[in-house]
Structures are given as structure tokens and as C-alpha cells.
Amino acid sequence: MVINKIIKLIGSIALLNFSVAVYATPQIQTWQTDNGAKVFFVPAQEIPMLDVRIVFDAGGARDDGLSGLAVLTNGLLSEGAAGKTAQQIAEDFESVGAQIEYDALRDMAVVGVRTLTESRYMTSAIESLAQVLTQPDFPVDAYQRELKRMKLSVKARQQSPAALAGEAFNKAIYGDHPYASPTSGTKQSLENMSLDAVRAFYKKYYVANNATIAIVGNVERKQAEEIAKALVTALPSGEKALPLPEVKQLTEAKTITIDFPSSQTHIFVGQPGTKRGDEDYYSLYVANHPFGGSGFTSRLVDVIREERGLAYSVYSYFSPLRELGPFAMGMQTKTEQTQQALTLLKEELLKYVEHGPEKEELAASLSNITGSFPLNIDSNGKLLEYIAMIGFYDLPIDHLDHFIENVRAVDVDKINDALKRRLHPDKMVTVVVGKQG
């Protein structure tokens, strides 16, 4: 078992506090553009490159019954803008070695670019990005093509037991909440899609008051200000998106089984979990770590994989969102072992919610989380990710500075209290996708 061995490690754990304490977190500079976009900036001079990401509160949560709308709108931005075709736009970025990124997640819609900072390249990349962001044309042929491709992706999900399980899980834990439906759409929602809906969605949500800009790279503050301005000046101020409805707690346990001809059964067990800025966030995050969040050293891996060889991948996570994101335990195992594995998974959960972590387990987890913190921010790409998240979710600007002390403040009592209040094993959703006996 994990626990008896960890005691031997305490010597090396004690060393940790020192090296973490001397590591300075990056200072985030922040301001607002004239039309209302929030900007978050960290200068990083080491490499002649720049990452910019604009995040809108325009993810799938805003689909409003037309699942797939956020993804489609976001994807169409670079398919025609300022009178240029998709091909011209792609050429503009790629001829200067710039990499455009775009994605619509559950909460966020993201548009960004990675570029060299040599001015002839950077100026061009920022200009192209501004066009995509502020002057999309939504050409009808591109709309039809991308809609068709999304319909095919719905079909593709039907050949993936993992995708089917994830979809059924969200639907079951979220009921009528906007988080319930797949961000990439359903057969039905895509049938109901319209270009007018896309245009209206863009007009409503891609506005400055609904935008967060994150900038990391080899530019001065003044340049960063100009870049932010160049990107969003042409956007109307508009309105910040309204608060999302609260996620309702589940009232009873529910099992969903889907018959599928795969050699493995895919299993999810869970419920609505935690949100950004949640008062129990640190307690639950730390609680999950030794249970199913730390890979090789977690209880679930120990019991399911190491002791019994039942699965390659077994884990649990809290995925915090604007409103309650999912808490999920997941694994895959060959059909015949389904019941055994599911029983073990649920037993472990009950045990953990009842008794919490051992002291030594918690010590090892705290040590890992705090000690690995420098790894989380050791590249421009990772920093960008963090500051965009901090800005988007209105977390305190010193979130990173206090991360370690907030984690250290968690103890066994806080974990047990939070687990008992927040996890309800008798009201969880269980999804089982595979060959049904």
C-alpha cells in the first residue's frame, strides 16, 4: 500500500518548503481598454515571441438550446473576414510564421495567436487577428461547409465509446442546465442551425465588455497596450454576458447503460462538483489529489490498476467552471470485468468520503502540489493559460502568489468537512458504455 512507504519519504518532503518559497511568481499587469476589455499582461523577454489570447464569455454554455452554436460561430471567424477568404486569411498568418488558435469550450470562446516579435511579422499577425476578431463576414458557403463538418463530427462521436459515455454523463448530471448538451452539437440542434443565429451570437457575445485579453511575451508594457487596443478597438462595448443559471444538485442515484460493441466498458461516476472561486475549491482540489488526481500515487490507480491490473487509465477530477463543473471518476476495463471494477470504484469513493485521506497521504499530496508549482508556470504557453483563466473567471490578481499558501492551509478536517458536504455517493450518476450482458 501507498501509505506505509510514504513515511520513509518525509525526509525529502521537509526539504521542499525552502525551494518553493524562493521562487517568485510572475507579476501580472492589468488594465482595461477604452471600450471595456480587461487586459492581463506578463512580459517575458527570453524568447523573441508573443502569445495573445482573447477570451469571450461565449462558450457552449451560451448556446441557448442550439447546441453547437458557440463552436460554429468561433470556427467561422477565420473562414472569411474583412472581405478576405479563408485561404487569404490562412496565408496571411502562415506567411509570417504565425499560428492562429481558436476554440469554444464550455464557458470560454478563445481566439489567439502565437507570433514572432520581429515587428514586420508581429504587426502583420496582430492585424490579421484583429480582422478575424472584429470583421468576420460569415460567408454562406463557409457556413454550409462547416455545418456539414460538424454534422460529421456528431457521427464520429457515435463510434467512440468514450465520447458516448462523456455525452451521456453530462446530460445526466446537468439535466436542463446549459452544461448538459455537447458543445459540438447534436444531430437535432445542427438541423435547426441557421446563419442568422450565428451572426446574432457573434453580435451579442463578441463584444469588449465580454472580453478578456491575455498577453505573454517579449514586448514592453506600451507595446502590449497598443496590441490590446489594435485587437479590440473595433469591437462595440456591448454587454457582459448575464450570469448562468445555478446548477441543481442531483436528487437521486441514476445509472445509464449504453450498449456498444467495444471490447472495453467505459465508466463514469459523478455529479456536479465545484466552481471557480468556490469557497471549498482548495479543499476539494487537494482532496481529489491523493484519491484519483495524482496518477501513479493515487488510491484509485493503486486499487484498480496496481493491485489488480483492471485498467490502464483510472482517475477522478473536479473540473471547475463558472458554475459547478463536473466531479467525475472514470475508467475503462474489458467487458467481463465491468461489475468488479465498478464495485471497487464505488467502494473507494464511499470509503474516501466517509474517512478522507490519511495524514501521510495528505502530506505527500501537499508536498507534490506545492513542489510542482514551478512546473505549472515554466513556459510562456502555460503562463498564458493561467492569466487568461484568472482574468476570465475574475479570480484575484494575486491568485498565483497565494496558490501555495492556500493549498497549505488545507488540512484533514477541512477536507473531510468539504467532502461530506459536497460529494453525495448516494445521488451520483453512473454511466456504463459497452457490451451489455
Show contacts with other proteins in window 412-431 (CB under 8 A): 425-428, 430
- Residue 112 as a binder of other proteins (CB under 8 A): the answer is no
**Among residues 197, 230, 276, 373, which is the contact residue for other proteins, using CB under 8 A?**
373
CA distance 126 to 118: 12
Terminal alpha carbon distance of the chain? 33
Name 259's bridge partners: 434
DSSP string, 115-149: EE-SHHHHHHHHHHHHHHHH-B---HHHHHHHHHH
Task: Pick the piece of the chain touching other proteins (CB under 8 A) from 33-41, 187-195, 258-266, 408-416.
Answer: 258-266
Query: Could you say which residues in the range 140-159 bind other proteins, by CB under 8 A?
Result: 145, 148-149, 151-152, 155-156, 158-159
Nearest approach, Cβ of 147 to other proteins (angstroms)? 11
Query: Could you say which residues in the range 32-71 bind other proteins, by CB under 8 A?
Result: 45-49
- Cβ atoms of 129 and 113 within 8 Å: the answer is yes
- Cβ atoms of 90 and 63 within 8 Å: the answer is no
Nearest approach, Cβ of 239 to other proteins (angstroms)? 32
CA distance 57 to 388: 12
Q: Which residues contact 128 (CB under 8 A, 6 or more apart)?
A: 89, 92, 93, 98, 100, 113
Name 156's bridge partners: none
By beta-carbon proximity to other proteins, the closer residue of 46 and 279 is 46
Nearest approach, Cβ of 314 to other proteins (angstroms)? 8
**Among residues 203, 221, 248, 254, which is the contact residue for other proteins, using CB under 8 A?**
254
The CA R_g of the chain, rounded to the nearest whole Å, is: 23
By beta-carbon proximity to other proteins, the closer residue of 32 and 313 is 313
By beta-carbon proximity to other proteins, the closer residue of 228 and 300 is 300
- Residue 255 as a binder of other proteins (CB under 8 A): the answer is yes
By beta-carbon proximity to other proteins, the closer residue of 195 and 256 is 256
Query: Could you say which residues in the range 386-405 bind other proteins, by CB under 8 A?
Result: none
Other beta carbons within 10 angstroms of residue 103's beta carbon come to 14
Distance set, CA 417 to CA 363, 410, 412 (Å): 18, 11, 9
Q: Which amino acid is at 379?
A: S
Nearest approach, Cβ of 256 to other proteins (angstroms)? 5
- Residue 174 as a binder of other proteins (CB under 8 A): the answer is no
- Residue 188 as a binder of other proteins (CB under 8 A): the answer is no
Q: Which residues contact 404 (CB under 8 A, 6 or more apart)?
A: 20, 370, 373
**Among residues 82, 105, 230, 258, which is the contact residue for other proteins, using CB under 8 A?**
258
Buried b (16+ CB within 10 A) or exposed e, 229-258: bebbeebebbeebeebeebeebeeeeeeeb
- Residue 105 as a binder of other proteins (CB under 8 A): the answer is no
Question: How many residues bind to other proteins according to rule CB under 8 A?
Answer: 116
- Residue 91 as a binder of other proteins (CB under 8 A): the answer is yes
Query: Could you say which residues in the range 271-290 bind other proteins, by CB under 8 A?
Result: none
By beta-carbon proximity to other proteins, the closer residue of 73 and 170 is 170
Query: Could you say which residues in the range 304-323 bind other proteins, by CB under 8 A?
Result: 305-315, 317, 319
Q: Which amino acid is at 139?
A: P
String marking each residue 329-368 x if it binds other proteins according to CB under 8 A: -x-xxx-------xx--xx-xxx--x---------x--xx
By beta-carbon proximity to other proteins, the closer residue of 121 and 205 is 121
What are the two backbone dihedrals, phi and then psi, of residue 298, each rounded to the nearest 5 degrees?
-85, 155
By beta-carbon proximity to other proteins, the closer residue of 211 and 345 is 345
- Residue 74 as a binder of other proteins (CB under 8 A): the answer is no
Nearest approach, Cβ of 234 to other proteins (angstroms)? 23
Ordered alpha helix ranges (H), 194-242: 195-205, 221-232
- Cβ atoms of 55 and 392 within 8 Å: the answer is yes
Query: Could you say which residues in the range 189-228 bind other proteins, by CB under 8 A?
Result: none
Other beta carbons within 10 angstroms of residue 295's beta carbon come to 12
Residue 100, classed as helix, strand or coil, is strand
- Residue 370 as a binder of other proteins (CB under 8 A): the answer is yes
Nearest approach, Cβ of 164 to other proteins (angstroms)? 8
CA distance 40 to 58: 19
Nearest to 407 by CA among 16, 29, 27, 107: 16
**Among residues 32, 99, 188, 194, which is the contact residue for other proteins, using CB under 8 A?**
99
Cell 454554455 found at: 61
Task: Pick the piece of the chain touching other proteins (CB under 8 A) from 1-9, 105-113, 179-187, 224-232.
Answer: 1-9
